[in-house]
A and B are shown apart, each in its own frame.
Chain A
Protein backbone atom coordinates (compact mmCIF):
# COMPACT_ATOMS: atom_id res chain seq x y z
CA UNK A 1 0.00 0.00 0.00
CA UNK A 2 1.31 3.35 -0.95
CA UNK A 3 1.56 6.11 1.56
CA UNK A 4 -1.35 8.48 1.11
CA UNK A 5 0.77 11.58 1.06
CA UNK A 6 2.95 10.17 -1.72
CA UNK A 7 -0.13 9.41 -3.81
CA UNK A 8 -1.46 12.92 -3.26
CA UNK A 9 1.82 14.55 -4.07
CA UNK A 10 2.38 12.52 -7.22
CA UNK A 11 -1.12 13.23 -8.44
CA UNK A 12 -1.01 16.92 -7.67
CA UNK A 13 2.46 17.64 -9.02
CA UNK A 14 1.14 20.35 -11.31
CA UNK A 15 -0.72 22.14 -8.55
CA UNK A 16 2.33 22.01 -6.29
CA UNK A 17 4.52 23.51 -8.98
CA UNK A 18 2.02 26.31 -9.57
CA UNK A 19 1.71 27.05 -5.87
CA UNK A 20 5.48 26.91 -5.42
CA UNK A 21 6.06 29.26 -8.33
CA UNK A 22 3.41 31.60 -6.93
CA UNK A 23 5.17 31.65 -3.56
CA UNK A 24 8.54 32.23 -5.18
CA UNK A 25 7.31 35.01 -7.42
CA UNK A 26 5.51 36.66 -4.52
CA UNK A 27 8.62 36.58 -2.35
CA UNK A 28 10.41 39.89 -2.12
CA UNK A 29 13.74 38.08 -2.36
CA UNK A 30 13.02 37.17 -6.00
CA UNK A 31 16.04 38.02 -8.12
CA UNK A 32 14.81 38.62 -11.63
CA UNK A 33 18.09 40.36 -12.36
CA UNK A 34 20.03 37.12 -11.77
CA UNK A 35 17.67 34.55 -13.25
CA UNK A 36 14.65 34.87 -15.53
CA UNK A 37 11.32 33.51 -14.33
CA UNK A 38 11.34 30.86 -17.05
CA UNK A 39 14.72 29.55 -15.93
CA UNK A 40 13.50 29.53 -12.35
CA UNK A 41 10.44 27.56 -13.43
CA UNK A 42 12.56 24.99 -15.28
CA UNK A 43 14.83 24.66 -12.27
CA UNK A 44 11.91 24.30 -9.87
CA UNK A 45 10.13 21.77 -12.06
CA UNK A 46 13.22 19.60 -12.37
CA UNK A 47 13.77 19.61 -8.62
CA UNK A 48 10.10 18.91 -7.84
CA UNK A 49 9.87 16.06 -10.36
CA UNK A 50 12.98 14.39 -9.03
CA UNK A 51 11.78 14.83 -5.48
CA UNK A 52 8.28 13.46 -6.01
CA UNK A 53 9.51 10.58 -8.18
CA UNK A 54 11.95 9.48 -5.53
CA UNK A 55 9.45 9.77 -2.72
CA UNK A 56 8.75 6.16 -1.71
CA UNK A 57 7.25 4.36 1.25
CA UNK A 58 10.62 3.53 2.71
CA UNK A 59 12.21 6.90 2.04
CA UNK A 60 9.46 9.19 3.33
CA UNK A 61 10.32 8.35 6.94
CA UNK A 62 14.03 8.83 6.45
CA UNK A 63 15.38 12.12 5.07
CA UNK A 64 18.87 10.56 4.73
CA UNK A 65 17.62 7.70 2.53
CA UNK A 66 19.76 7.04 -0.55
CA UNK A 67 16.63 7.47 -2.72
CA UNK A 68 17.05 11.20 -2.23
CA UNK A 69 20.58 11.29 -3.64
CA UNK A 70 19.49 12.58 -7.07
CA UNK A 71 17.49 15.33 -5.35
CA UNK A 72 20.47 16.33 -3.21
CA UNK A 73 22.67 16.30 -6.35
CA UNK A 74 20.32 18.73 -8.10
CA UNK A 75 20.15 20.91 -4.97
CA UNK A 76 23.95 20.93 -4.75
CA UNK A 77 24.22 22.11 -8.35
CA UNK A 78 21.60 24.78 -7.79
CA UNK A 79 23.09 26.15 -4.58
CA UNK A 80 26.68 26.19 -5.89
CA UNK A 81 25.60 28.04 -9.02
CA UNK A 82 23.55 30.43 -6.91
CA UNK A 83 26.49 31.09 -4.60
CA UNK A 84 28.61 31.99 -7.62
CA UNK A 85 25.88 34.15 -9.13
CA UNK A 86 25.76 36.18 -5.95
CA UNK A 87 22.47 35.09 -4.38
CA UNK A 88 22.18 35.80 -0.67
CA UNK A 89 21.82 32.84 1.74
CA UNK A 90 18.26 33.97 2.54
CA UNK A 91 17.25 33.90 -1.13
CA UNK A 92 18.74 30.45 -1.59
CA UNK A 93 17.04 29.23 1.59
CA UNK A 94 13.69 30.66 0.56
CA UNK A 95 13.89 28.71 -2.69
CA UNK A 96 13.89 25.40 -0.80
CA UNK A 97 11.61 26.35 2.06
CA UNK A 98 8.92 27.78 -0.19
CA UNK A 99 8.65 24.27 -1.64
CA UNK A 100 7.67 23.09 1.84
CA UNK A 101 4.87 25.66 1.98
CA UNK A 102 3.61 24.51 -1.40
CA UNK A 103 3.72 20.84 -0.47
CA UNK A 104 1.97 21.38 2.85
CA UNK A 105 -0.64 23.54 1.17
CA UNK A 106 -1.57 20.72 -1.18
CA UNK A 107 -1.53 18.12 1.59
CA UNK A 108 -3.88 20.31 3.61
CA UNK A 109 -6.46 20.49 0.86
CA UNK A 110 -6.21 16.80 -0.03
CA UNK A 111 -5.95 14.99 3.31
CA UNK A 112 -9.05 15.40 5.42
CA UNK A 113 -8.13 13.35 8.49
CA UNK A 114 -6.37 15.75 10.93
CA UNK A 115 -4.25 13.01 12.51
CA UNK A 116 -3.03 11.77 9.13
CA UNK A 117 -2.45 15.33 7.91
CA UNK A 118 -0.32 16.09 10.95
CA UNK A 119 1.75 12.92 10.54
CA UNK A 120 2.38 13.45 6.84
CA UNK A 121 3.14 17.15 7.23
CA UNK A 122 5.71 16.33 9.85
CA UNK A 123 7.44 13.83 7.56
CA UNK A 124 7.49 16.22 4.61
CA UNK A 125 8.78 19.00 6.87
CA UNK A 126 11.60 16.82 8.08
CA UNK A 127 12.68 15.91 4.56
CA UNK A 128 12.59 19.49 3.30
CA UNK A 129 14.48 20.69 6.40
CA UNK A 130 17.21 18.20 5.71
CA UNK A 131 17.32 19.42 2.09
CA UNK A 132 17.58 22.95 3.43
CA UNK A 133 20.57 22.05 5.57
CA UNK A 134 22.42 20.37 2.72
CA UNK A 135 21.58 23.34 0.48
CA UNK A 136 23.25 25.64 2.98
CA UNK A 137 26.26 23.41 3.31
CA UNK A 138 26.88 23.45 -0.43
CA UNK A 139 26.00 27.12 -0.66
CA UNK A 140 28.73 27.92 1.86
CA UNK A 141 31.11 25.59 0.06
CA UNK A 142 30.38 27.45 -3.18
CA UNK A 143 31.05 30.75 -1.47
CA UNK A 144 34.30 29.46 -0.02
CA UNK A 145 35.42 28.43 -3.48
CA UNK A 146 34.73 31.96 -4.67
CA UNK A 147 36.75 33.38 -1.77
CA UNK A 148 39.65 31.00 -2.39
CA UNK A 149 39.73 31.89 -6.06
CA UNK A 150 39.71 35.57 -5.21
CA UNK A 151 42.54 35.13 -2.72
CA UNK A 152 44.59 33.44 -5.42
CA UNK A 153 43.78 36.22 -7.84
CA UNK A 154 44.75 38.88 -5.33
CA UNK A 155 48.11 37.21 -4.71
CA UNK A 156 48.66 37.02 -8.46
CA UNK A 157 47.64 40.60 -9.08
CA UNK A 158 49.48 42.03 -6.10
CA UNK A 159 52.91 40.91 -7.26
CA UNK A 160 53.43 42.26 -10.75
CA UNK A 161 57.02 42.45 -11.93
CA UNK A 162 57.48 45.49 -14.15
CA UNK A 163 60.29 46.04 -16.63
CA UNK A 164 60.98 49.73 -16.12
CA UNK A 165 64.06 49.80 -18.32
CA UNK A 166 66.30 47.46 -20.23
CA UNK A 167 67.86 45.45 -17.43
CA UNK A 168 65.90 47.09 -14.62
CA UNK A 169 62.92 45.41 -12.98
CA UNK A 170 60.60 46.99 -10.45
CA UNK A 171 58.33 45.15 -8.07
CA UNK A 172 55.84 47.26 -6.14
CA UNK A 173 54.64 45.40 -3.08
CA UNK A 174 51.16 46.37 -1.89
CA UNK A 175 49.80 44.98 1.35
CA UNK A 176 51.25 43.01 4.20
CA UNK A 177 54.17 40.72 3.50
CA UNK A 178 53.81 37.30 5.07
CA UNK A 179 55.88 34.20 4.39
CA UNK A 180 53.60 32.79 1.71
CA UNK A 181 53.50 36.11 -0.14
CA UNK A 182 57.25 36.58 0.15
CA UNK A 183 57.60 33.18 -1.46
CA UNK A 184 55.39 34.28 -4.38
CA UNK A 185 57.19 37.63 -4.65
CA UNK A 186 60.60 35.99 -4.58
CA UNK A 187 59.71 33.33 -7.12
CA UNK A 188 58.12 35.71 -9.61
CA UNK A 189 60.97 38.20 -9.25
CA UNK A 190 63.71 35.60 -9.71
CA UNK A 191 61.87 34.04 -12.63
CA UNK A 192 61.54 37.41 -14.32
CA UNK A 193 65.23 38.16 -13.70
CA UNK A 194 66.15 34.97 -15.53
CA UNK A 195 63.69 35.59 -18.37
CA UNK A 196 64.58 39.23 -18.96
CA UNK A 197 68.28 38.96 -18.07
CA UNK A 198 67.96 42.01 -15.84
CA UNK A 199 70.78 42.96 -13.54
CA UNK A 200 68.92 45.31 -11.22
CA UNK A 201 65.71 44.77 -9.27
CA UNK A 202 63.92 47.49 -7.35
CA UNK A 203 61.64 46.37 -4.51
CA UNK A 204 59.22 49.18 -3.77
CA UNK A 205 57.66 48.84 -0.33
CA UNK A 206 55.68 52.09 -0.23
CA UNK A 207 52.51 49.99 -0.20
CA UNK A 208 53.55 47.89 2.78
CA UNK A 209 51.66 49.22 5.82
CA UNK A 210 54.09 48.06 8.48
CA UNK A 211 57.48 46.47 8.67
CA UNK A 212 58.21 44.23 11.62
CA UNK A 213 61.23 42.03 12.15
CA UNK A 214 59.60 39.17 10.24
CA UNK A 215 58.81 41.31 7.19
CA UNK A 216 62.33 42.75 7.31
CA UNK A 217 63.74 39.25 7.40
CA UNK A 218 61.63 38.34 4.37
CA UNK A 219 62.93 41.41 2.54
CA UNK A 220 66.54 40.56 3.37
CA UNK A 221 65.96 37.01 2.13
CA UNK A 222 64.62 38.31 -1.16
CA UNK A 223 67.61 40.63 -1.52
CA UNK A 224 70.05 37.77 -0.79
CA UNK A 225 68.35 35.52 -3.31
CA UNK A 226 68.52 38.17 -6.05
CA UNK A 227 72.20 38.69 -5.24
CA UNK A 228 72.82 34.97 -5.58
CA UNK A 229 71.25 35.10 -9.02
CA UNK A 230 73.73 37.79 -9.96
CA UNK A 231 71.46 40.81 -9.84
CA UNK A 232 71.57 43.83 -7.57
CA UNK A 233 68.55 44.61 -5.42
CA UNK A 234 67.48 48.07 -4.27
CA UNK A 235 64.73 48.60 -1.70
CA UNK A 236 62.80 51.79 -2.25
CA UNK A 237 59.74 53.56 -0.88
CA UNK A 238 60.79 53.48 2.75
CA UNK A 239 58.55 55.82 4.71
CA UNK A 240 59.90 57.69 7.75
CA UNK A 241 57.77 55.60 10.14
CA UNK A 242 59.22 52.44 8.66
CA UNK A 243 62.76 53.77 9.01
CA UNK A 244 61.96 54.48 12.67
CA UNK A 245 60.57 51.00 13.32
CA UNK A 246 63.48 49.33 11.57
CA UNK A 247 66.00 51.15 13.75
CA UNK A 248 63.99 50.64 16.94
CA UNK A 249 63.76 46.92 16.23
CA UNK A 250 67.50 46.81 15.68
CA UNK A 251 67.26 45.38 12.16
CA UNK A 252 70.49 45.68 10.22
CA UNK A 253 69.81 46.88 6.68
CA UNK A 254 73.31 48.29 6.17
CA UNK A 255 74.25 45.77 3.49
CA UNK A 256 71.09 46.50 1.51
CA UNK A 257 70.84 49.50 -0.79
CA UNK A 258 67.84 51.50 0.41
CA UNK A 259 66.30 54.56 -1.21
CA UNK A 260 63.45 56.80 -0.11
CA UNK A 261 61.59 56.86 -3.40
CA UNK A 262 61.28 54.81 -6.53
CA UNK A 263 62.65 57.79 -8.47
CA UNK A 264 65.92 57.85 -6.56
CA UNK A 265 66.16 54.08 -6.79
CA UNK A 266 65.81 54.36 -10.55
CA UNK A 267 68.51 57.02 -10.56
CA UNK A 268 70.82 54.70 -8.66
CA UNK A 269 69.99 51.90 -11.07
CA UNK A 270 70.83 54.13 -14.05
CA UNK A 271 74.13 55.04 -12.40
CA UNK A 272 74.93 51.35 -11.85
CA UNK A 273 74.21 50.62 -15.51
CA UNK A 274 76.22 53.71 -16.49
CA UNK A 275 73.22 55.33 -18.10
CA UNK A 276 72.48 59.00 -18.07
CA UNK A 277 69.22 60.87 -18.39
CA UNK A 278 69.72 64.11 -20.29
CA UNK A 279 67.24 66.88 -21.03
CA UNK A 280 66.67 67.31 -24.75
CA UNK A 281 66.63 71.12 -24.94
CA UNK A 282 69.83 71.42 -22.97
CA UNK A 283 71.64 69.17 -25.39
CA UNK A 284 70.43 71.34 -28.24
CA UNK A 285 71.57 74.50 -26.44
CA UNK A 286 75.00 73.07 -25.72
CA UNK A 287 75.50 71.92 -29.28
CA UNK A 288 74.46 75.35 -30.55
CA UNK A 289 77.07 76.98 -28.37
Chain B
Protein backbone atom coordinates (compact mmCIF):
# COMPACT_ATOMS: atom_id res chain seq x y z
CA UNK B 1 0.00 0.00 0.00
CA UNK B 2 1.12 3.52 -0.80
CA UNK B 3 2.40 5.60 2.05
CA UNK B 4 3.29 9.24 2.28
CA UNK B 5 6.76 9.66 3.80
CA UNK B 6 7.19 11.88 6.83
CA UNK B 7 10.71 13.32 7.00
CA UNK B 8 12.26 14.65 10.14
CA UNK B 9 14.35 17.83 9.97
CA UNK B 10 15.52 18.76 13.45
CA UNK B 11 12.47 19.77 15.40
CA UNK B 12 10.35 19.97 12.25
CA UNK B 13 8.54 17.33 10.24
CA UNK B 14 8.29 17.58 6.47
CA UNK B 15 5.49 15.90 4.58
CA UNK B 16 5.67 16.12 0.80
CA UNK B 17 2.51 15.06 -0.95
CA UNK B 18 3.44 14.08 -4.48
CA UNK B 19 0.55 11.86 -5.45
CA UNK B 20 -3.13 12.62 -5.72
CA UNK B 21 -4.51 12.02 -2.28
CA UNK B 22 -7.41 9.66 -2.11
CA UNK B 23 -9.46 9.55 1.06
CA UNK B 24 -7.93 6.44 2.59
CA UNK B 25 -4.38 7.71 2.04
CA UNK B 26 -5.28 11.03 3.62
CA UNK B 27 -6.73 9.35 6.68
CA UNK B 28 -3.62 7.19 7.06
CA UNK B 29 -1.42 10.26 6.73
CA UNK B 30 -3.39 11.93 9.50
CA UNK B 31 -2.87 8.98 11.85
CA UNK B 32 0.80 8.54 10.89
CA UNK B 33 1.59 12.17 11.35
CA UNK B 34 0.01 12.42 14.79
CA UNK B 35 1.95 9.32 15.87
CA UNK B 36 5.21 10.76 14.56
CA UNK B 37 4.67 14.11 16.28
CA UNK B 38 4.09 12.28 19.50
CA UNK B 39 7.16 10.07 19.07
CA UNK B 40 9.60 12.77 17.99
CA UNK B 41 8.27 15.69 19.95
CA UNK B 42 8.33 17.83 16.82
CA UNK B 43 7.49 21.50 17.19
CA UNK B 44 6.40 22.13 13.64
CA UNK B 45 4.91 20.35 10.65
CA UNK B 46 5.43 21.40 7.03
CA UNK B 47 2.98 20.01 4.51
CA UNK B 48 4.21 20.59 0.98
CA UNK B 49 1.30 20.47 -1.45
CA UNK B 50 3.01 22.12 -4.40
CA UNK B 51 2.42 19.02 -6.52
CA UNK B 52 -1.26 18.77 -5.63
CA UNK B 53 -3.50 20.18 -8.32
CA UNK B 54 -6.87 19.18 -6.93
CA UNK B 55 -8.16 19.58 -3.40
CA UNK B 56 -11.73 18.76 -2.43
CA UNK B 57 -13.63 19.62 0.72
CA UNK B 58 -12.60 16.32 2.34
CA UNK B 59 -8.90 17.07 1.80
CA UNK B 60 -9.44 20.56 3.11
CA UNK B 61 -10.96 19.14 6.25
CA UNK B 62 -8.14 16.61 6.70
CA UNK B 63 -5.57 19.40 6.52
CA UNK B 64 -7.60 21.42 9.00
CA UNK B 65 -7.82 18.36 11.29
CA UNK B 66 -4.08 17.77 11.07
CA UNK B 67 -3.47 21.39 12.06
CA UNK B 68 -5.81 21.20 15.04
CA UNK B 69 -4.39 17.86 16.22
CA UNK B 70 -0.81 19.10 15.90
CA UNK B 71 -1.73 22.23 17.81
CA UNK B 72 -2.99 20.07 20.69
CA UNK B 73 0.32 18.21 20.56
CA UNK B 74 2.13 21.58 20.65
CA UNK B 75 3.24 21.68 17.03
CA UNK B 76 2.42 24.37 14.46
CA UNK B 77 1.32 23.34 10.97
CA UNK B 78 2.34 25.22 7.85
CA UNK B 79 0.96 24.39 4.42
CA UNK B 80 3.51 25.34 1.78
CA UNK B 81 3.46 25.78 -1.98
CA UNK B 82 -0.26 25.88 -2.61
CA UNK B 83 -1.12 26.33 -6.29
CA UNK B 84 -3.18 29.43 -7.16
CA UNK B 85 -5.96 27.26 -8.58
CA UNK B 86 -6.13 25.26 -5.36
CA UNK B 87 -6.31 28.44 -3.28
CA UNK B 88 -9.16 29.76 -5.40
CA UNK B 89 -11.00 26.42 -5.16
CA UNK B 90 -10.68 26.34 -1.37
CA UNK B 91 -11.98 29.89 -1.06
CA UNK B 92 -14.87 29.15 -3.40
CA UNK B 93 -15.67 26.04 -1.36
CA UNK B 94 -15.78 28.25 1.72
CA UNK B 95 -12.83 26.48 3.36
CA UNK B 96 -10.28 29.15 4.23
CA UNK B 97 -8.36 26.57 6.37
CA UNK B 98 -8.68 28.45 9.65
CA UNK B 99 -5.85 27.78 12.09
CA UNK B 100 -3.48 26.63 9.36
CA UNK B 101 -0.50 28.81 8.52
CA UNK B 102 0.58 29.10 4.91
CA UNK B 103 3.88 29.85 3.25
CA UNK B 104 4.90 30.29 -0.34
CA UNK B 105 7.64 27.64 -0.37
CA UNK B 106 9.43 25.25 1.96
CA UNK B 107 12.19 27.76 2.66
CA UNK B 108 9.75 30.43 3.80
CA UNK B 109 7.77 27.80 5.70
CA UNK B 110 10.84 26.76 7.69
CA UNK B 111 11.63 30.41 8.39
CA UNK B 112 8.08 31.00 9.59
CA UNK B 113 8.09 27.93 11.82
CA UNK B 114 11.50 28.67 13.37
CA UNK B 115 10.33 32.18 14.15
CA UNK B 116 7.09 30.86 15.65
CA UNK B 117 8.93 28.32 17.77
CA UNK B 118 11.42 30.95 18.90
CA UNK B 119 8.54 33.29 19.80
CA UNK B 120 6.91 30.56 21.85
CA UNK B 121 10.14 29.89 23.70
CA UNK B 122 11.03 33.49 24.46
CA UNK B 123 8.33 34.23 27.03
CA UNK B 124 9.35 31.09 28.95
CA UNK B 125 12.99 32.19 28.86
CA UNK B 126 11.93 35.61 30.11
CA UNK B 127 9.98 34.00 32.93
CA UNK B 128 13.01 31.91 33.82
CA UNK B 129 15.11 35.06 33.90
CA UNK B 130 12.65 36.76 36.27
CA UNK B 131 12.48 33.88 38.67
CA UNK B 132 16.23 33.58 38.97
Contact = CB atoms under 8 A, between A and B. Distances in A.
Interface string A222-260: 001111111100000000000000000000000000000
Could you tell me the dominant secondary structure of chain B's interface residues? mixed
Max chain A C-beta neighbours (<10 A), residue from B87, B90, B102: B87
Contact of A228 (B96, B108, B109): B96
A224 B88 CA distance: 9
B104 interface: yes
B88 A187 contact: yes
A191 interface: yes
Interface in A172-209: 183, 186-187, 190-191, 193-194, 197-199
Given A199-B108, A229-B84, A224 B91 contact: yes
Size class of the B contact interface (CB-based, 8 Å): 20 to 34
Interface of B: 78-80, 82-84, 86-88, 90-92, 96-97, 101-105, 108-109
B60 to A, nearest CB: 10
B84 A190 contact: yes
A163 to B, nearest CB: 15
B88 A230 contact: no
Contacts of A229: 82, 84, 87, 102, 104
A193 B84 CA distance: 9
A199 B104 contact: yes
A14 interface: no
Contacts of B82: 228-230
A227 B96 contact: yes
Given A186-B88, A187-B88, A199-B104, A228 B80 contact: no
Nearest to B101: A230
Nearest to A188: B84
Given A187-B88, A190-B88, A191-B84, A228 B104 contact: no
Given A225-B88, A229-B84, A229-B87, 18 more contacts: A186-B84, A186-B88, A187-B84, A190-B87, A190-B88, A193-B84, A194-B104, A197-B104, A197-B108, A199-B108, A227-B96, A227-B102, A228-B79, A228-B82, A228-B87, A228-B96, A230-B103, A230-B108
A22 interface: no
A186 B103 CA distance: 17
A221 interface: yes
Nearest to A228: B87
B91 A221 contact: yes
A228 B64 CA distance: 12
Contacts of A194: 83-84, 104
Nearest to B102: A230
A229 B108 CA distance: 12
Question: Which are the 5 A-B pairs with shortest beta-carbon distances?
Answer: A190-B84, A230-B102, A230-B103, A228-B87, A224-B96
Given A230-B80, A230-B82, A230-B109, A225 B87 contact: yes
A178 to B, nearest CB: 16
Contacts of A198: 104
A182 to B, nearest CB: 10
Contacts of B96: 224, 227-228
B91 A225 contact: yes
A224 B90 CA distance: 9
A233 to B, nearest CB: 12
B111 to A, nearest CB: 10
A67 B104 CA distance: 64
A186, A191, A229 pick with most chain B CB within 10 angstroms: A229
B90 A228 contact: yes
Nearest to B112: A230
29 contacts: A186-B84, A186-B88, A187-B84, A187-B88, A190-B87, A194-B104, A197-B108, A198-B104, A221-B92, A225-B84, A225-B87, A225-B88, A225-B90, A227-B96, A227-B102, A228-B87, A228-B90, A228-B91, A228-B96, A229-B82, A229-B84, A229-B87, A230-B79, A230-B102, A230-B103, A230-B104, A230-B109, A231-B102, A231-B104
